[in-house]
Amino acid sequence: MNFYRREGRMAFMDESGEIAARSVQDYIDETPYWADGTVAPSSPMTAMQWRIWFLASAGKFFEGMVVFMTGVALPLIVQEFKLGAMEKGTVSAATLFGILIGATALGGLADHYGRKKMFIVEMVLFVSCLVALVFSPDFPFLVTFLFGMGLALGCDYPTAHMVISESIPSSDRGRLVLSAFAFQAVGALAGTAIGFLILYKAPEISAWRYMYGAAIIPAVLVVVGRFYIPDSSHWLVSKGRIKEAEDALHRLLHREPHYPKIIRIAPPAENGNASAGENGKGSYADLFKGKCLRATILASVPWFLQDLGTYGIGIFTPTILGSVIGAKAVHARNVADLIQNDILAAKGAAFIDVLLLVGIIAAVLMADKVGRIKLQVAGFLGCAAGLFLASMSMTVAADSSMSMSLLFSGFMLFSFMTNMGPNAITYLLAGEVFPTNIRGKGAGFAASFAKIGAVTTAFFFPFLLKGFGAGTILIFLVGCSVLGAIITWRFRIETSGVNLEDL
């Protein structure tokens, strides 16, 4: 195979002078040439590639939105259904438990039925459960529909990642995957902000239904948009459907002027694509053997420890703020007191959640320059410092300015550092540190293991908050953050700038 120059580009040709067959990623990664043969630094993303990225980002947005909105809605749900501590913990953990199950039970179906099909199915399930949740008549139905939404969001974890990574240039993969992940922070901010606005405009117990209902129309639009994208050419090739893969790649790479005009995809055996063969040889047992055990510990344990803090603090920030502001959420004399307390707590939580977004932007900018490991260790230590500051607010008078300053400063530092470090980097590392043949299994196991931490903290947090107080819980989470930093450094595998095949 050699090159020839035509219309300012270098094209592949075989010995007969015909356009030679290439791999899917060769076409996606191709960069334009100037007329003198100088290679351009990058190739602009097509409109379809940006559409896919946006629709995949929407899944992370809805995850952040509904999970963190629960923190604002929870006091109202408890009041309407007269829930005890166990029921309250179940409501908090239902969506997260659904994510845990959905990531493994449904996410793997994308390998069998295709990325696009599961990309659509998961969002249809999300919308259906969201609508049903708004009209939940009692506690069992409420938990069922929260769990159903979690199943859909769990399926979105691996599916959205594959939809993005299999459709964009290799040089942009890390930046765009993290940018999509950033929409979890955007959703968290939107969830708390919407909760505050709805409480302000409709100060009533049933306001929680309006909160969840606000997400229905945007979610329906995302469902419609997902029908109009091509399936993954990588997946189609792995199934031997070469002609369909070529048609899908034409749609993906459509640009003006149109290039490439002719696409010929080589079968897996010719282009070295391991998706059809090599990936099928690995098993989950391989994750715990030899050098892979190191990768499994690095990808799973710090993510678990990070989720303990992020979801516990994220869901219950309004509750903690309300208790420190004056414990009115606990001793509300009437519904008006409860609503007012929830409004104040939601306003404070929304302000703090802005730092989640700032943190993920910092991660996008620094992950490739500073390095994954250094950023994750620094993030964990920053989280510990923030939580320690917040815990110090419990040792001074609750109504003092010092208490408020320590609490808000601590939560703000935690929110920034967790998204700059472990919340973003654990997600990124899990998809990089495993060999190709078990990368999907490794990343899926790490995500599920992490969500055990999220479910645990969401379920037990109400009991612990009542039994030990916010100060003790915050000190415990300080220890978890420090342990996360230690494990990250002990089992470190730096992937910045390293070809995944070399790993």
pLDDT per residue as tens digits for the range 443-492:
778 888 888 887 777 677 767 767 777 778 888 889 999 999 999 999 99
Number of residues assigned to the chain: 503
What's the pLDDT at 124?
96
pLDDT of residue 13: 54
The DSSP element (H or E) to which 57 belongs, if any, is helix 47-81
Domains of the chain: 2-31+40-44+231-271 (no CATH), 282-503 (1.20.1250.20)
Ramachandran bin of 163, using left for φ above 0, alpha for ψ from -120 to 50, beta for the remaining angles: alpha
Closest to 349 measured CA to CA, from 62, 97, 57, 64: 64
Q: What is the DSSP letter of 327?
A: S
- How confident is the model over 87-139, as pLDDT tens digits? 887 887 788 888 888 887 787 677 778 889 999 999 999 999 999 999 999 99
Please, are residues 406 and 434 in contact by the beta-carbon 8 Å criterion?
no
Distance CA 84, CA 326 (A): 22
Least confident of 60-64, 117-121, 138-142: 60-64
Work out the pLDDT band at 271, boundaries 50, 70, 90: very low
3-class DSSP state of 499: coil
pLDDT of residue 19: 67
Burial 271-303 (b: 16+ CB within 10 A, else e): eebebeeebeebeeebbeeeebeebbbbbbbbb
What angle, 0 to 180 degrees and rounded to 10, lies between the N-to-C axes of helices 173-181 and 139-165?
160
Report cis status (omega within 30 of 0) of the bond before 422: no
Q: What is the pLDDT of residue 336?
A: 52
Quote the CA–CA distance of 82 and 94 in Å, as a whole number.
Answer: 17
Do residues 259 and 190 touch, judged by C-beta distance below 8 A?
Answer: no
User: What Rg value do the Cα atoms of the chain yield, rounded?
Assistant: 24
> pTM for the full model?
0.75
Kindly indicate the confidence band of residue 378, based on its pLDDT and cuts at 50, 70 and 90: very high
Provide the 8-state DSSP code for 2.
E
At residue 1, the pLDDT reads 39
Give the pLDDT score at 398: 54
- Reading the block at residue 437, the tokens are 């043949």
172: confidence class by pLDDT, cuts 50, 70, 90: confident
* pLDDT of residue 81 exceeding 70: yes
* DSSP codes of every residue in 207-260: HHHHHHHTTHHHHHHHHHHHTTSPPPHHHHHHTT-HHHHHHHHHHHT--SS---
More confident residue, 271 or 427: 427
pLDDT exceeds 80 at position 213: yes
Residues 16-39, mean pLDDT to the nearest whole number: 74
What is the rounded end-to-end Cα distance, in angstroms, of the chain?
28
